[in-house]
């Protein structure tokens, strides 16, 4: 069976070794954990879904340490290929379970942001605590009840400003507001929080970011959002009510969204990569099924209708993988088209992988809808990616803006 992930054709020795390490973790720990109890992800006590062992084994394999500086025990990635390596490992993890991949990828992205923006004192404290605790999770708090995917749009007006606000008082920043749909939000130990600090200017000039520990008075995690897919990552809502953090916990003042490109660009790549991992798992399981199942006196793969669907699945996966590698290289090389191609691969993957998973479910017949078989899980997991890190429509607006900056609409704001 062809390995779609081999389309990452120019692996360095480090990348090949990291991929093999991740595959061992997925095949020996993660995939067996998921398959052993298909009902477990539906436990409505979020704390009971994932056993501590899953993250402990990821820690032993070095998979939690990506993005953390070597000085704190992290795993340094080769300069110039970091986005490609993140993509490779994200896809491998999602092949085992995309919710667990979400947990770890979120940590990686926040770690990259902190190593770039946080002062040495905060890095010393929080990277040390992160590396010491395999259950330590981090979250990036941007989305709000009245500002979600539209925050990705290419306009800059006071009307778009964060509803969450931060005011400097007596050496502390007081944060008030609400964040929702936050990856790792329900059980994170550390949050990067975005808030308006100047409502007289546009969103790009008036948004700041802060490092906020979970136990800060005034921070309350109010709920776990029960999603249809990716359920081993606990998406949460957080309220800030007079939440006070010391002045030195400011990461970026008034230009936080511009500096967050460090987080956003690799983030789009990893979203598409995780999505591809879902498709790869669905494809592998379907290929095994159609080569084993006999229907009408023939093995299923010998039926033309089945073969056509399998070929289409493989083609879609190859196309996503090729586009993903191109986009990751654009980020690594800091090419001017990186913004557009990151959005393109995110949108393209979300639609193509959903179709791959639909084929997988249909080729399994009635078994495809049965919880214990696991195929329906891939369709659920893939469907979430239509609106993770912006809806596909919002992403398409961004693509159009990048391609035609002089003629694309403003989409919101005045005029």
Domain stop point among 222, 256, 290: 256
**Distance between CA atoms of residues 195 and 193, nearest Å:** 7
Report how far Cα 155 is from the mean position of its chain's Cα atoms: 24
pLDDT given for residue 154 in this prediction:
55
Residue 411 inside a domain? The answer is no
Q: Residue 76 above 50 pLDDT?
A: yes
Residues 263 and 398 in one domain: yes
Same domain, 71 and 101: yes
272 pLDDT more than 90: yes
Which percentage of the chain shows pLDDT scores above 70?
A: 95
At 415 the pLDDT is 46
Domain boundary among 256, 277, 295: 256
Please tell me the least confidently modeled range out of 153-167, 215-229, 263-277, 320-334: 153-167
Please indicate, yes or no, whether residues 160 and 125 belong to a single structural domain of this protein: no
Tell me what the pLDDT averaged over the chain comes to.
91
Please state the length of the chain.
Answer: 415
Do 193 and 96 fall into the same domain? Answer: no
Residue 119 sits in a domain whose CATH number is 1.10.540.10
The total number of structural domains in the chain stands at 3
Minimum mean pLDDT range among 255-259, 300-304, 333-337, 374-378: 255-259
Enumerate helices (H) and strands (E) in the chain, giving the number of each: 14, 10
Question: What average pLDDT does this structure show over 46-68?
Answer: 95
Q: What angle do CA 385, 351, 397 make, to 5 degrees?
A: 80
Structure confidence at residue 1 (pLDDT): 41
In a domain, 204, yes or no: yes
Query: 1-37 as b/e, with b when 16 or more CB fall inside 10 Å?
Result: eeebbebbeebeeebeebbeebbebbeebbbebbeee
234 shares its domain with 151: yes
Confidence of residue 411 (pLDDT cuts 50, 70, 90): low
Same domain, 385 and 268: yes
Give the whole-angstrom CA distance, residue 391 versus residue 191. Answer: 23
Q: Are residues 123 and 158 in the same domain?
A: no
Supply the range of the domain harboring residue 104: 4-132
Whether 303 and 379 map to the same domain: the answer is: yes
Residue 97 lies in a domain: yes
Which pLDDT score, from 0 to 100, does residue 2 have? 43
Could you report the per-residue pLDDT of 109-121, keeping only the tens digit for each? 999 999 999 999 9
**pLDDT tens for residues 379-402?**
999 999 998 888 888 888 889 888
Asked if residue 152 and residue 111 are part of one domain, the reply reads no
**What pLDDT is recorded for position 262?**
76
Shared domain for 229 and 281, answered yes or no, is no
Asked if residue 38 has pLDDT above 70, the reply is yes
For the cut 70, the answer to whether the pLDDT of residue 372 exceeds it is: yes
Shared-domain flag, residues 228 and 288? no
Helix (H, G, I), strand (E, B) or coil at 30: helix
414 within some domain = no
Residue 415 lies in a domain: no
Name the domain boundary from 75, 106, 132: 132
* pLDDT score at 107: 95
């Amino acid at each position: 069976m062809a390995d779609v992930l081999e389309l990452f054709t120019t692996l360095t020795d480090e990348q090949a070794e990291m991929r093999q390490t991740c595959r061992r973790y997925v095949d020996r720990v993660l995939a067996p954990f998921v398959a052993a109890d298909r009902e477990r992800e539906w436990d409505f006590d979020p704390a009971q879904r994932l056993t501590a062992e899953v993250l402990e084994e990821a820690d032993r394999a070095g998979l939690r340490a990506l993005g953390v500086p070597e000085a704190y025990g992290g795993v340094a990635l080769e300069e110039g290929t970091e986005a490609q390596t993140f993509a490779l490992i994200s896809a491998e993890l999602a092949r085992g379970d995309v919710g667990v991949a979400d947990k770890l990828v979120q940590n990686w992205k926040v770690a990259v942001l902190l190593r770039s923006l946080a002062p040495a004192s905060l890095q010393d404290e929080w990277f040390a605590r992160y590396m010491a605790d395999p259950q330590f999770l981090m979250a990036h708090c941007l989305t709000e009840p009245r500002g979600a995917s539209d925050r990705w749009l290419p306009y800059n007006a006071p009307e778009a400003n964060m509803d969450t606000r931060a005011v400097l008082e007596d050496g502390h920043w007081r944060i008030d507001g609400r964040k929702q749909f936050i990856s790792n939000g329900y059980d994170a130990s550390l949050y990067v929080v975005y808030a308006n600090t100047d409502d007289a200017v546009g969103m790009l000039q008036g948004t700041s970011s802060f490092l906020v520990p979970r136990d800060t008075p005034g921070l309350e995690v109010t709920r776990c959002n029960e999603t249809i897919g990716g359920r081993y990552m606990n998406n949460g809502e957080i309220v800030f009510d007079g939440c006070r953090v010391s002045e030195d916990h400011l990461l970026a003042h008034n230009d936080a969204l511009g500096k967050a490109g460090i987080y956003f660009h690799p983030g789009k790549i990893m979203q598409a990569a995780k999505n591809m991992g879902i498709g790869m798992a669905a494809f592998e399981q379907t290929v095994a099924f159609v080569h084993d199942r006999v229907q009408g006196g023939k093995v299923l793969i010998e039926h033309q209708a089945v073969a056509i669907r399998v070929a289409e699945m493989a083609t879609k996966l190859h196309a996503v993988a090729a586009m993903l590698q191109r986009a990751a290289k654009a980020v690594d090389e800091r090419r001017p088209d990186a913004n557009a191609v990151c959005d393109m691969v995110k949108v393209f993957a979300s639609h193509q992988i959903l179709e791959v998973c639909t084929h997988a479910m249909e080729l399994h017949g009635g078994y495809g809808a049965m919880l214990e078989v696991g195929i329906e899980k891939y369709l659920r997991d893939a469907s979430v990616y239509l609106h993770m890190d912006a809806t596909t429509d919002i992403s398409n607006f961004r693509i159009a803006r990048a391609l035609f900056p002089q003629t694309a609409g403003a989409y919101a704001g005045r005029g």
